[in-house]
Amino acid sequence: MKAGKYYVGDLCYVLGDKAHDELCKMCYPTGNTTGIEGKRVLSDGRIVISFKCPYGDGVYGDQSGMSYMVDSGCLGITLLEGLEEQWENPNTHITHLKEETMTEYIGRLGHIVEYDSEFNVKRVSVDGDVNMTFGDKVTINTGMFFFDTSSDDEW
């Protein structure tokens, strides 16, 4: 990936509905229920890399203790530039969040990371867990799974 500012987290939070639907169709083509991971180029030219989380939805941690909320079962990365134009605040019905900016929203669910030079992204299985490495700045180990957000329990 080229140098720049990137969003790292669940791509469903920042891609517009059309772009996220397109990504889902690329990752889960007709008849494929396991999903296809890796690099994709969307029809608008946006490059995204997406990996499945073996434990599904929940909160995962990285090597620095940062957390990443997952609602689509996947974590990924995409260039921050151009996201604001397609982002819609999903919390307009919640009084204290209806004025939230995309940057504030991202800060609660994923992270913005700046890379000064080209970097590699990879996924490696390690004893049943998965390490997702986004350059030299973020490594998410799915063994650092905090809780399952799909349950009815309150946290």
For residues 59 and 55, give the distance between their C-alpha atoms in angstroms, rounded to a whole number. Answer: 10
Does 50 reside within a domain? yes
Does 92 reside within a domain? yes
Maximum C-alpha span of the chain? 44
Does 150 reside within a domain? no
Does 28 reside within a domain? yes
For residues 82 and 11, give the distance between their C-alpha atoms in angstroms, rounded to a whole number. Answer: 14
Does 84 reside within a domain? yes
Q: Residue 147 has what pLDDT?
A: 53
Q: Residue 28 has what pLDDT?
A: 83
Please check the confidence at residue 101 and state whether its pLDDT lies above 60: yes
Strand order in the sheet with 74-79: 38-41, 47-52, 74-79, 4-9, 111-115
Q: Residue 60 has what pLDDT?
A: 92
| Domains held by the chain: number | 1
Q: What is the per-residue pLDDT across 29-62, written as a single tens digit (0 to 9) for each?
A: 877 767 788 999 999 999 999 998 888 888 999 9
What is the model's pTM?
0.86
* Containing structural domain, residue 136: 4-141
Coil, strand or helix at 38 = strand
Q: What is the per-residue pLDDT across 2-32, written as a single tens digit (0 to 9) for each?
A: 999 999 999 999 998 899 899 988 988 877 7
For residues 57 and 79, give the distance between their C-alpha atoms in angstroms, rounded to a whole number. Answer: 23
In one letter, which amino acid is 132?
M
